[in-house]
Structure 1
C-alpha cells in the first residue's frame, strides 16, 4: 500500500522562503504538524512566513490548525500580500 501524500503550494514570500513553488510530502495529521515539518525542513525564514500565512486546503480556508487533514489534499500557503 502506497503512503498517503499531500501537496504544498507556496505563493509570494512563502515561495521565496521555501525555495520552491510546490512539493509533495507524506500526509500529516494536522496543519500544525505540517507547519512544524515545513519549518524544520526549510528554516527560520519560512517558519516566520508560516506564522503569518493563511492556508487553503483544497481551495477552502482552513482555520483550525489542529483539525485532521485528509490525505491527498493540496495545501496552499498564502502569506499576507500587502500590509501584513
Structure 2
C-alpha cells in the first residue's frame, strides 16, 4: 500500500467538503475510491464513480492496477461546457 497525494478539482473538491489535497494510503484506484468515500461520504462517492483520474499526470483507465509509491492522483469530475 502506498502513501498517495490526492488533489481534488471543481465538483470533486466541493464534494470533499472543500479539501484541496490530502494524503491517503491505497494500492489501487478502486481501493482509493473506497477509502475516500468512507472518509468524505457518499456525495464524493458519486463524483468518484464518474471522475477521471490522473496518476502523476497520466490518465489511468485500469482502476485495479497497482499505483506507484508516492504518486499524485488528480481527481477530475466531468466538466460541462466546451
Same-fold call, TM > 0.5? yes
- Alpha-carbon separation, structure 1, partners of 2:28 and 2:2: 14
Runs ≥4 residues deviating over 2 A: none
TM value normalised by structure 1: 0.90
The answer for the alignment partner of 1:68 in structure 2 is 66
Unpaired stretches in structure 2, ≥5 consecutive residues: none
Aligned positions, number: 80
Shift of 1:5: 1.4
What are the Cα deviations for residues 18-56 of structure 1, in whole angstroms up to 9, with x where unaligned? 020100122x11100000000111001100000000000
- Alpha-carbon separation, structure 2, partners of 1:11 and 1:4: 22
1:7 is the counterpart of 2:5: yes
Two-structure CA RMSD over aligned residues (Å): 1.4
Please give the secondary structure, in 2, of the residue aligned with 1:32: helix
- Alpha-carbon separation, structure 1, partners of 2:2 and 2:74: 18
- Alpha-carbon separation, structure 2, partners of 1:25 and 1:37: 8
Shift of 1:4: 4.5
